[in-house]
Amino acid sequence: MSVVSAKSSATAVGTKTRPGALADEGRPTVRPPAAAHLSDEQVAQLGRELDAIRDEVLAKRGSSDAAYIRRMIKIQRGLEISGRAALLVGKNKAAWFTGTTLLSLAKILENMELGHNILHGQWDWMRDPDIHSTTWEWDFVTPSRSWQHTHNDLHHRWTNVVGKDRDVGYNLLRMDPDQEWKPFNLGNPLYNALLAPVFEWGIALYDLEIPEYKEGLKSKEAMNKDLKALGRKALKQFAKDYAATPALAMLSGSGKQALYGTLTANAIRNVWAHAVIFCGHFPEGTDTFTEEMVEGETRGDWYVRQMIGSANISGSPFVHLMTGNLSHQIEHHLFPDLPSNRYAEIAPKVRDICQRYGLKYTTGPLLKQVGSAWAKVFKLAVP
């Protein structure tokens, strides 16, 4: 699981430079231990097989996929409108519970299946200006453009590369043995427990790239621009959830109940998003990598890193939907810009490739993966 730290330049590929466009030239100086048994030709062939899966989906992508995302948007908006309407009469306990539940489901669906995937450009091919990665603003406090930079451009490019992918711990948690231990890390479990219900705010602060600013890698102008964007977005979120809905509910004497309802819905969404993200990146079986391992990385090697550095969640179609199909995290990291509704279809093919090439395909039920991720949080709290 652990790897030895090394400092060197690296080239990899993310969502802006597609894996399929990277030439199979050169090879890494050192391959990850889990892939050390593969020859250069085997890695190149693996890459070609995964390219073929991608090409097959692109060839079939069409009206049924467009209908799917539009249907999901209608369902999400229906849930949100119904939930907020019920909270307007939230003095009635049944109405409060119904409204909070519906609003929680709406926020989860918007965050996971809509926002996350639309912002990856999965639906840009539709040429619909209302469902496009450059125009969508999600129901999450961090601005879309800031998140796209840290997530799409950086995390997906440097997946689990210690020292490059700051998503390994989010500048707060120690999530890999190669991260230097400090007394501060003793609070790992406490920090993670506090982070979960306010996860959107944690991500918003993370997206500001404060360490980069302190290191002189981010200009003051860029920081001020991001702070203003976050301020505008936070004000908009507060106005919608903590001002407008409670204010309307005051007409029926339910203002306080509506406020509690929106607070609860946001907390539920945050805890769920936190769990799904941690299940996809930190359970036992997911590998981390040194910068040395990605130096000279080929397309096939990039694919290998995504497969052994990610983990899936097994479950029902409803679980897959509510995770935004990030229950297929391996497939998502291989093909971040393919429509999410196609991940379940290609998962057996990806798993078969892993088995034939002797690579791990880490998966398990939600509770098992959550428990595994939390076990790592506790374990890495100590030296």
pLDDT tens, position by position, 269-293:
999 999 999 999 999 999 999 999 9
User: What average pLDDT does range 376-381 have in this prediction?
Assistant: 97
Band of residue 23 on the pLDDT scale cut at 50, 70, 90: very low
User: What average pLDDT does range 213-229 have in this prediction?
Assistant: 96
> Distance (Å, rounded) from C-alpha 296 to C-alpha 238?
46
298 is written with which tokens? Answer: 């080929």
Confidence (pLDDT) at 122 = 98
Confidence (pLDDT) at 26 = 57
Torsion of CA 53, 54, 55, 60, to 10 degrees: 90
Out of 43-52, 163-172, 321-330, pick the least confident: 163-172
Confidence (pLDDT) at 29 = 61
Confidence (pLDDT) at 30 = 82
Residues 6 or more apart whose Cβ sits within 8 Å of residue 139: 107, 110, 111, 115, 237
Amino acid at 149: H
Within the chain, residue ranges assigned H as helices are: 40-60, 63-87, 93-109, 117-118, 144-147, 188-195, 199-207, 210-214, 220-238, 245-249, 255-281, 299-308, 317-322, 329-334, 343-356, 366-379
Query: Is residue 290 within 8 Å of residue 30, measured between CB atoms?
Result: yes
Whether the per-residue pLDDT at 19 is higher than 50: the answer is no
User: What average pLDDT does range 63-77 have in this prediction?
Assistant: 98
> Distance (Å, rounded) from C-alpha 139 to C-alpha 267?
13
368 is written with which tokens? Answer: 């098992």
Confidence (pLDDT) at 108 = 98
Amino acid at 182: K
Confidence (pLDDT) at 7 = 30
**Helix (H), strand (E) at residue 88:** none
Residues 6 or more apart whose Cβ sits within 8 Å of residue 193: none
Confidence (pLDDT) at 8 = 31
Confidence (pLDDT) at 4 = 32
Whether the per-residue pLDDT at 11 is higher than 50: the answer is no
> pLDDT per residue over 295-350, tens digit each?
989 999 999 999 999 999 999 999 999 999 999 999 999 999 999 999 999 999 99
User: What average pLDDT does range 214-225 have in this prediction?
Assistant: 96
Q: What average pLDDT is seen over the chain? A: 92
Amino acid at 163: G
Whether the per-residue pLDDT at 61 is higher than 50: the answer is yes
User: What average pLDDT does range 226-242 have in this prediction?
Assistant: 97
Band of residue 251 on the pLDDT scale cut at 50, 70, 90: very high
**Helix (H), strand (E) at residue 357:** none
